[in-house]
Amino acid sequence: MHRFPLKAAGLALLFGAAPFALPFAVPFAGAATLDTVLVASGFNAPLYATSPLAGGPIFVVEKGGLIKTVQGGSVSTFLSLSVSTAGEQGLLGLAFDPGYANPASAGYRRFFVSTIDASNQDSVISSYRTSDNPLVADAASRVEIMRFDQPNGLTNHKAGWLGFKPGDADHLYIASGDGGGGYDPSSNGQNTNTLLGKMLRIDINGDDFASPDINYAIPADNPFAGVAGSRGEIFAYGLRNPWRNSFDRLTGDLWIADVGQSAREEVNLLLDSSAGGENFGWRVREGDIATPGVGGPLQPGMDDPLLVYTRSFGGSITGGYVVREVGSPLYGQYLFGDFVSGRIWSVLADGNPKTMADATEWTAMLDAGAGGVLGNIASFGEGAGGEIYIVDFGGKVVQVVPEPAPALLLAMGLAGLAWRRSAAARREKAEAAALG
């Protein structure tokens, strides 16, 4: 446990977390074993990784505005953006269009980024397209999709995650933070007339706006579409800093991990069947308690989190994924971590409320992996085959693989490929069984 103080001291506490108590160990269950292999190191403040095409490059997002690719062991720059980087600002999110590989799709070669504008600190969502070279984006292809104001001078709580729900190529989900400042001073989370502190949902294949700088439509089935005094882009609200979130690729459920203020970190579940309109409570509620100093009891219509943890475990939750890589010991588990403590756990993703007593801790096993000790967990990532990446803010990306990592794959820089291949043969059957 010696490494936790080291971690806390070494990072300018990107997420403004408070000091934490020494963690106590949560025993891990069963005989399942995991290893890691290094995807690549030397990144500058990496915040995200994904690999949308089977056998294609792994894309790594850097806070300072670069997207890099890793393929065949070599790293190159895919796109370079000018962004504001103070505090928690930067290049914060990346999502590939579901039609990225389909020449017949409007989304062919298209991807979306969320950034903080270098000139005015707005949150900005833009699209770009990849050039004829799959390792180089076409910088001139930029289309601005939307932007929204951020409070002047506040550099934290920008969230910025982007994602598409499996099977829905039209709607981009955008996580926004409360705008920052601590305790949500303007109560943005509960205000449905601002885009701050929300899960947004927009139609990126429509356009409701004559302006060439605003290029999306408000889905008619969004819960506040057409409601006077509310923003139609909102799908769910009452969020503080939903930094990293994910759709379960099997079920379509959205797992929202909301970074807490000074007492509770939380995981929320937005079911596939939801029509939206959920209120996750901030700033009235911090996790499962009244927000110290400003909060109160759970109000009608507010949802308690699926899982909370205290400062005994960490100081800033980093949401992960429900693992759907067939053959992984983590299959069907929601894997998540903590930026401050560097700890990583999983809980069974059965949709029922959990406590940390239900969690399995994987920190020591993953730290002992061939990919090396992990520091501050900035993000998790998922590849086309369901493979799981872990992004260490200190500069590296690893892939979770079975233990022991096959030596040949390590040597060839093709980590996990064999596992993926053998898994593919079993996937269809297993998914059918799970659905049944």
For Ca ion, the binding residues in 258-287 under the rule CB under 5 A are 280-281
DSSP code for 276: S
Piece in contact with Ca ion (CB under 5 A), picked from 7-15, 158-166, 212-220, 354-362: 212-220
CB of 220 to Ca ion, least distance (A): 18
Nearest to 41 by CA among 64, 62, 65: 62
Q: Pick the closest to residue 402 from 428, 366, 427 (CA basis).
A: 366
Min CB(359)–Ca ion separation in Å: 19
Residue nearest to Ca ion as judged by C-beta position = 281
Considering only 76, 168, 209, 351, the residue that binds Ca ion (CB under 5 A) is: 209
Q: Which is nearer to Ca ion, 32 or 290 (CB)?
A: 290
Q: Is 207 in the site for Ca ion (CB under 5 A)?
A: yes
Compute the least distance from the CB of residue 155 to Ca ion, in Å: 22
Q: What is the signed CA dihedral for 364, 415, 94, 379, rounded to 10 degrees?
A: 0
Part of the chain binding Ca ion (CB under 5 A), chosen from 107-115, 127-135, 203-211, 338-346: 203-211
Q: What per-residue string of b and e applies to 393-422 under the rule 16 or more CB within 10 Å gives b?
A: bbebbbbbbbeebbeebbeebbbbbebbee
Residue 145 bridge partners (DSSP): none
**Minimum CB distance to Ca ion smaller for 90 or for 305:** 305
203 makes contact with Ca ion (CB under 5 A): no
Within residues 2-41, the interface with Ca ion by CB under 5 A covers none
Encoding tokens for residue 346? Answer: 């999983």
Total residues contacting Ca ion by CB under 5 A comes to 5
Q: How far is the CB of 34 from Ca ion (least distance, A)?
A: 30
Distance (Å, rounded) from C-alpha 367 to C-alpha 208? 49
Tokens of 102: 């389909």
- How far apart are CB 212 and Ca ion at their closest, in Å? 6
Q: Which is nearer to Ca ion, 242 or 385 (CB)?
A: 242
Per-residue burial over 292-318, b = 16 or more CB atoms within 10 Å of its CB, e = otherwise:
eeebeeeeeebbebbbbbbbebbbbbb
CB of 221 to Ca ion, least distance (A): 21
Closest to Ca ion by CB, 215 vs 318, is 215
- Cα first-last separation, the chain: 43
In contact, 295 and 283? CB cutoff 8 Å: yes
**Which region among 107-115, 204-212, 322-330, 404-412 touches Ca ion (by CB under 5 A)?**
204-212
Nearer Cβ to Ca ion, position 267 or 409? 267
Verify binding: residue 215, Ca ion, rule CB under 5 A. yes
∠239-8-394 over CA atoms, to 5°?
A: 85
Query: For residues 176 and 123, what is the distance between their CA atoms, to the nearest angstrom?
Result: 9
Interacting span for Ca ion (CB under 5 A) from 70-78, 202-210, 338-346, 420-428: 202-210
Binding residues vs Ca ion (CB under 5 A): 207, 209, 215, 280-281
